[in-house]
Amino acid sequence: MNFKTTTLRPLKFIDGIPVEGTSKGNHMTIAVLLKQVPDTTAKISVNGGRVDENAVSKWSFSPYDEYALEAALQLKESTGGEIVAITAGPARCEKLLRDAAAVGADTLVHVSAENFNEFDSTQVQNLLAAAVQKSSASLIFCGKQAADTNAGSTGPGVAELIGASCVTLVTEVSSEGGGYTATRPSSSGHEKVAVSAPCVFAFDKGVSEMRRPNVRGIMMAKKKPIETWSVGDLGVDIGANGVNIDSHSPPAEKPPGQKFEGAESVSTVVSKLRDEANVI
């Protein structure tokens, strides 16, 4: 399966209206990839072999995406440019785009795919890479992983497909010279790395929480058009699904608590934490 770039024509928006070409010169566009997930505090239940979406009490931004969006807004505030919020998924995701617009996203793109949850990583990345190219963004901000799949393949995968650099587990990005500086963890703490566009920044918990919207932002968000791009509109062949999801199931019941006598048992417990519980 190959990623096709040929049919993509960059689209620009001014006040939400598509404008041909890039008349604004080297006006920077930042795409922020946002995923709508069940709120991390929501109860997850399984019905008919799948996580039951209808039972989800609250949908939210995937938490790391919020840091990405906030960092993108701050970068835009310091250097100018435009923020394109892109989400892929079923119709319910439009709410997420409105929320992004309320805090300052300029253009809203919904890559609509009702069966998005069944897509494999290749399909997801091809779709998002095509959307990123169509938006003509040179910087891509996303979360290090989504709170539903917990995978973390999207940022680096999209970077590969569009031929961009990728820095993951980022906490901060700033513009410096003609390029960008990002802070990421290293074996001895943290490090600042220099990269240039095109680049994907996959965010860990960043330095600033996502800002709260205000009424003005909410009113503007209401009026902002949402560009809906179907798989067909993107002119990309996402191919067949290579991974078949057999089922979702509730996690295995934890074994009943075990009680040990004396400090000698500490090493047993530590091994169990590693091998049985897998938490250290």
Partner 1 sequence: MECTVIAETSGNSIHPITAQLVGAASSLGATPIVVVPGGAGAEEAASIDGVSKVISVVGDCFSTFDSGAWASAIASQCSGVVIAGATPIGREVASRVAAKKGIPIIQDATDLAPGITITRPIYSGKAVETSTVSGDCVITLRANAFDAAGSDGSASVNVVDQSADISIAVKEAISKASERLDVSEADIIISGGRGIGQKENFSHLEEVADIIGAAVGASRAVVDEWGMPHSMQVGQTGKTVTPSLYIAVGISGAIQHLAGMRSSKYIVAINKDPDAPIFGVADYGIVATWEEAVPALKSALAAL
Partner 2 sequence: MPYEALDFYDVDSLLTDEERMVRDMVRDFVDEEVIPKIEHACRDGVFPDEWRVALGEMGVLGAPLKGYDCPGLSYTAYGVICRELERGDSGLRSFASVQGSLAMYPIWDFGSEEQKQHYLPKMASGEWIGCFGLTEPDYGSNPGDMITKAEDMGDHYLLNGAKMWITNGTVAQLAVVWAKLDGVIRGFIVEKDDPGFSAPEMKGKHSLKASVTSELVFQDCKIPKDRILPNVKGLRGPFSCLNNARFGISWGAVGAAQACFDSAKDYALSRIQFTHPIASYQLVQNKLAWMLREITKAQLLAYHLGQKKDAGTWIPEHISLAKMNNVDIALEIAREARDIHGANGILDEYCIMRHMANLESVKTYEGTHDIHNLILGRHITGIQAFTREL
| Interface of this chain with partner 1, residues 61 to 100, rule: CB under 8 A | none
114 vs 42, 89, 119, 240, 242, CA distance in Å?
A: 22, 6, 10, 16, 18
Q: How far is the CB of 188 from partner 2 (least distance, A)?
A: 34
Nearest to 131 by CA among 172, 167, 161: 161
Closest to partner 1 by CB, 51 vs 218, is 51
According to CB under 8 A, which one of 69, 139, 168, 231 is a site residue for partner 1?
168
Q: Strand 189-195 vs strand 226-229: parallel, antiparallel, or unpaired? A: unpaired
- Say how far apart CA 109 and CA 230 lie, in whole Å: 10
Token code pair at residue 3? 């990623």
> Which does residue 24 touch among partner 2, partner 1, none (CB within 5 to 8 A, set by kind)?
none
Q: Which is nearer to partner 1, 152 or 235 (CB)?
A: 152
Letters for 197-236 (x = contact with partner 2 by CB under 8 A, - = none) are ---------------xxxxx-xx-xx--------------
The region of 62-70, 96-104, 194-202, 266-274 touching partner 2 under the rule CB under 8 A is 96-104
* Rounded Cα gap, residues 93 and 184, in angstroms: 30
> DSSP letter at 28?
-
Of 187-226, binders to partner 1 (CB under 8 A) are: 187-196, 199, 205
Q: Applying CB under 8 A, which part among 74-82, 93-101, 156-164, 196-204 lies near partner 2?
A: 93-101
What residues contact 217, with CB distance under 8 A and at least 6 apart? 101, 102, 103, 104
Residues between 231 and 260 with contacts to partner 1, criterion CB under 8 A: 242-252, 254-255, 257-260
Is residue 55 a contact point for partner 2 (CB under 8 A)?
no
| Element housing 223 (H / E) | helix 215-223
Judged by CB under 8 A, the residue of 39, 52, 233, 237 near partner 2 is 39
**50 near partner 2, judged by CB under 8 A:** no
DSSP string computed for 99-159: HHHHHT-SEEEEEE-TTGGG--HHHHHHHHHHHHHHHT-SEEEEESS-TTT----HHHHHH
Partner whose binding site includes residue 261, from partner 1, partner 2, none (CB under 5 to 8 Å by kind) = partner 1
The reply to whether 57 sits near partner 2 by the rule CB under 8 A is: yes
Residues of the shown chain interacting with partner 2 in the complex, contacts defined by CB under 8 A? 39, 41, 57-58, 95, 98-99, 102, 212-216, 218-219, 221-222
